[in-house]
Amino acid sequence: MKFTTALVSIGVAAICAAQAQPDSRFDGIWVGMETASAGSAHLSANEQKFVPPPHQTQIIIAQGGTLVGIIGGICPGRYEKVQRTGDTLTFGAKDCVLKISLSHDGKSLIEQGKCFRVTEWLDRAYYGKFPHAMLGLAITGTFHRSK
């Protein structure tokens, strides 16, 4: 019984260590165009204002794919809690969750993600402002290594 428990513990530790290993194939500066689209085809004129136009974006990946920074784009910022599964990095903060996948040849990244934009705020005397209506956006992009 103790042998089986020890064997399972070693297996779980090995799997966790394998997923936590840095992968330098992701490291570098990636440039490309990021696009957002609303999930609904029936947007009001007010909601349409909250769908951003395509953005020129830079994704900087360092420390073996464990640190990601985004300059420009829809979800700019520094992301330190990055999870790697195979050729994919997943990260997010606040209202953005992004997933970037490395191509088989290692020359491009494909981005997919989701975020929410507040389209209407309510203002209450006691509680202050808070979001009343939100618009879900799908984020996509293709990036290539900067020269």
| CATH number, position 90 | 2.40.128
Dihedral angle of Cα 48, 49, 53, 58, to the nearest 10 degrees: -120
3 occurs within a structural domain: no
Domain count along the chain? 1
pLDDT at residue 130, as a whole number: 75
15 occurs within a structural domain: no
Percent of the chain with pLDDT strictly greater than 90: 54
5 occurs within a structural domain: no
14 occurs within a structural domain: no
Are the CB atoms for 46 and 123 separated by under 8 Å? no
Q: Which domain holds residue 34?
A: 22-145
Beta strands in 16-93 (DSSP E): 28-38, 55-62, 67-72, 77-79, 83-85, 88-93
pLDDT of residue 97 exceeding 90: yes
Average pLDDT, integer, range 99-119: 93
Average pLDDT, integer, range 66-89: 94
Within 10 A of 92 (CB to CB), how many other CB atoms are there? 18
Q: What is the pLDDT of residues 125-140, one digit of tens each?
A: 887 887 777 888 999 9
16 occurs within a structural domain: no
